[in-house]
Every structure is written in structure tokens, then in C-alpha cells.
Structure 1
Amino acid sequence: MAPEFHGPFDPVELSDPELEHDGLRHLTFHSPALRGRGDVSLFIPRGSTFPAELPLVLLLHGVYGSHWAWFLKGAAHRTAQDLIDRGEIRPMLLAAPSDGLSGDGSGYWPMPGRDAEAWIAHDVPACIREKFSSHGPTFLCGLSMGGYGALRIGFKYSDRFRGISTHSSITHAEQMHNLVRDRDLNLSAMPVYEHDILHWARKHRDQLPAVRFDCGTDDSLFNASAILHRELDNLSIPHTYETFPGGHEWSYWRQHIESTLRFFHSLLSK
């Protein structure tokens, strides 16, 4: 039987609850932005049935990764459930989308025929809210390339997000060249300002979401993170910047996702 299309995201495929574990679910749906299928891994805290106020946290992965990485390498769901069980954060829905799967990494920016920016800024949260009747606040988190995506998209679409938290972030699009084999990043197809984090920070400085970011002291991007911190200071844009021991690796991100979840919880309490 042919599928029926009732909305822009149909057909939607959701994993069978009987086969799920650890609160993880998997969602595939038609994305107008990607002009095809997109994948999202979801974490639903124990006892949650998608109440309308449940906050939505989008977790953006780095190069070579995909939607499963934050959970099956970063254990973000276990950290969240542990904090929820201890009463230290409110229950949150975690959604980890793919980056659009262009080349070795999409950069989460728009490309002809495959707009990873609109996929993150619109399609993923809109589909989740439509299918699960959730309309709580939305937060952005990312690591490395995903940190860059969270900062750029969060600043550009500042009215859509309550807060941004990133780890070991790329801070300039050109830094992608140091991390991928695919050197054709399509940057020349965009105006320079389009992929500039600070451009969007300046443009929307009066309505930016709350922002924090951190980086390991042994990370190759440490100096770039420190420069971003100084640049935001120079623009008098409030933010929290933290440094910790560690490098550009999953052991670091697995440890510090707790900082992100606590930060988002603090924003919910205001």
C-alpha cells in the first residue's frame, strides 16, 4: 500500500517501542530542507509521555559522525537520566539529528539542493513538535563542527532558541579544512558574512539566546575558542566561557555534556 502524505514531513518512520532500549528512539522523516529523508535519534526520559512543556534539546554532532553519536559514543542519554533521577535537572527531550550527511561534514550550512541549516533550524524541531504535541522551549548544543553549527544557527535564528551550549567548537568555517578529507566545502557559494558566527552575533545582539561554551586545554581549537571569548567580550555580548583539561575527543565531550544540561536547566528555572 502506498503511503499517505498528510503533511510536509510525511512519511514518518518511528522505531518500535518494543525494540527500543535506554529510552532511545529513532525517527526518519521526509525533510523539505534536505529534499529527502533525514534521521534523528531521540531520548525520552523515563515516565515521560511528551508533555506539552517538555524542553527540547538538539544535539549536533561533529565531522564523520551522525545522529547516533551523541548517544552511542557520548552517553548523553545516561547522563541526562541520572541527573533527572537525582532531581538535579528537569526532564528534557534530547534529539540528535544527522547533519544532512553531505561529504565528510555539512557544516550545518545551506547548500544547493540540501539545506542542513533549515533542517536543523526548522524541520527537526517542527516535526518533533508536530508528531509529539510538544511546544516547550528549544535549546541547541553541539561539539566541534556541531558546536559551530549551534553557535551560527542559534545566533542567526535567535528568536527560536532559549539557550546555546557548545564543546570544543569550530569557530570559523575555514577550520573545517583541518578536519575533513573533502576539501570542497562550498564556502565560495555563500557570502562571507553568511558563515561568520560574529556577524550573526552582532546582527541580533539584542535578542541572543543565553550562551556558554567550553574547550579542553589540550584541544587544537583551544586558542580559537579563547579568541571567540575575547571577541564576544569586546562586543559586550554576555556569555559563559569555561576551560577544562582534555582534548578533542569523546572522553571530554562525554564528561562535559553534564555542564550543558545543567546550564539549560538553569535557564528553565528563570
Structure 2
Amino acid sequence: MAFLQVNVYSNVLQMEVAMNVILPQTTHKNIGTETVGVTEDVPVMYLLHGMGGNHSVWERRTSIERYVAEYQMAVIMPSTDLGFYTDTTYDMNYWTFVSEELPMIVHELFPQITNKREKTFAAGLSMGGYGALKLGLAKPEHFAAVASLSGAVVLADVKSLLLVRNEAYWQGVFGPLDHIQGSVNDPLRLLDELVASGQEAPRFFLACGTEDDLYPASQYMAHKLEQKNLVVTFEEGPGKHDWIFWDAWIQRVLAWFNEQ
């Protein structure tokens, strides 16, 4: 596998943005793992970081490069700062960047990466779990499946939000806190809109550690997806909100993505 550190200019954000990219590469090694290259129609996973992370954190904290080798899959890991995968009130449109501009940049720079929905996936942890779920709900035409690990997928509980960051931060991202519920950033609204649209929905995977404070949120969101008769897998296991859990479960996500 090849690991690329990429800097691109985002016209949406009007700034330079960093992302790390993993691509299949043919390698013949005496020591280590041999890999097979793919030159066209490469499946791709957009892998999103959480709060406090950036484009480098998945590579640094897990063995993601080794895990994806057997699937001959490309991985796109962008940095989105603390924008919560949202078009913020302070005029930084991270949602538009991730959901619209980033795939265009990827396909311009890496034409071997697939354009096919059935080979395109998204996953993320915590804040990134919210982002991946949002991609699946709001852009179902682009993703075959999405996965949320320990996702911050329920935003209506304002008290819980304020335990993480102060009110000024959340207002900067979402606007008035009492307006989040039912807004374009509320996964429950996006779920209702997806079902009403009649579009084919992606498969959804949610997992969370049973000792994680966000466990009830993942459980609740999985239930809501099931109520709408969408294809959803909810799994749990021992674990906290940490990289021990995410390193183990991203391996399960990759296997699940490749299940028929």
C-alpha cells in the first residue's frame, strides 16, 4: 500500500487543507506484507476524525493501512478541524467541503478511485461518526454503506454538549442551541427526509463501547433507523471512548463493508 500526505486548496473553505490518502500498490517484499495494486475502479472509504483529531490520527493510532490492504481499498482521511462536519455559522462550510468538494478533488487527483456508489463508503469516530452518518443520510446517492463508531449522533441533549465544549463553540457551529433539533444538522430530520424522498438508502453500521457515555446515543439512533425499515446493524462490546475500541472495531467495519 502507498501512504500519501496531500495538501490541497479548498475553494469552499478558501484555505489549504491537509489529507492523508492510502492507495493500493503492488509490492513484493522479502519481509513484510505483499500487496496487490489496482489501477482502476478502486473502492474507497472516506474515514473521518473526531474532536481533537485531524487527518493524521487514524494512521497514527491504528493499523488502518495494514487493515485495508486485503480489501485493495483506498482511504481518504481529511482534516476538518472542529467544524463538526457542518456549514458553520462562522462561515466555514465544512459540510459542503466534505460532502461535495472533497469527492471532486479526490477524483481529479486520483482517477483510479471509483465513481461507483456500490464501492464508496464512509466511516468515522465520535464527531466523525456523526459526519459519516450525516453523509449516509443526506447523500445516499453516493454511498453504499456508512459506519459510525461511538458516534455523537444525537444532538438534542444540550446539557451533554456543554460538558464537552462551552456554549460559544456550539453556537459557532450550529447557531442557537435550541434550534439544533429539527435543523438541517439534526440526523433525525435527515432520516425523515431520506425516507420521504424514496431514494435508495445505504446500509448503516453503528457500534459503541458499553462503557462509553455515547452508548445510549448510538443505541437510540440504531433504533430510529430500524423504525424506518432501513438496513442497520448495531453492535456493541466492552470498551470506552478510546483508540483501543476504535482500532479493534474499524476492522469489523471493513469486513462489514465487504459483506454482500
**C-alpha separation between the residues in 2 aligned to 1:251 and 1:23?**
25
1:128 aligns with 2:88: no
Are residues 1:180 and 2:160 paired? no
CA contact (8 A) 1:201 1:208 kept: no
**CA deviation profile, 1:102-140 (whole Å, cap 9, x unmatched):** xxx211100243211111112222111111212243211
Matched, 1:69 2:57: yes
TM-superposed deviation, 1:181? 5.5
2:141 equivalent among 140, 159, 182: 159
Superposition misfits of 4+ residues, deviation over 4 angstroms = none
Q: What's the counterpart of residue 97 of structure 1?
A: 78
Query: What runs of 5+ residues in structure 2 fail to find an aligned partner?
Result: 27-35
> Is the Cα contact below 8 Å between 1:170 and 1:176 reproduced in 2?
no
In 2, Cα distance between the equivalents of 1:176 and 1:78? 35
Give a deviation string over 1:2-54, Cα, whole Å, max 9, x none: xxxxxxxxxxxxxxxxxxxx631111111122111111101123316552210
Q: d(CA) in 2 for partners of 1:181 and 1:72?
A: 28
* Residue in 2 that maps onto 1:218: 211
Structure 1 residue aligned with 2:47: 59
Matched, 1:110 2:96: no
1:169 matches 2:151: yes
Give RMSD over aligned pairs: 2.0
Aligned counterparts of 2:153 and 2:66: Cα–Cα separation in 1: 28
TM-score by length of 2: 0.84
Partners of 1:35 and 1:167 lie apart in 2 by 30
Q: What secondary structure, in the 3-state scheme, does the structure 2 residue paired with 1:160 have?
A: coil
Offset at residue 146 of structure 1 (A) = 0.3
Number of residue pairs matched by the alignment: 235
Q: Could you tell me how far 1:224 is from its partner in structure 2?
A: 1.4
| TM-score computed with the length of structure 1 as normaliser | 0.81
Q: Which amino acid in 1 is paired with 2:185? A: H
**Shift in Å, 1:188:** 1.8
Q: Does 1:139 align with 2:118?
A: no
**Could you tell me whether the CA contact under 8 Å between 2:145 and 2:204 is conserved in 1?**
yes
Counterpart position of 1:196 = 186
CA 182–46 in structure 1, closer or farther in 2 if over 3 Å, else same:
farther
Q: 1:153 & 1:178 partners in 2: Cα distance?
A: 26
Secondary structure at the aligned position of 1:26 is classed as strand
> Secondary structure at the residue paired with 1:114?
coil
After superposition, residues 213-252 of structure 1 pair within 5 angstroms as: 213-252=206-245
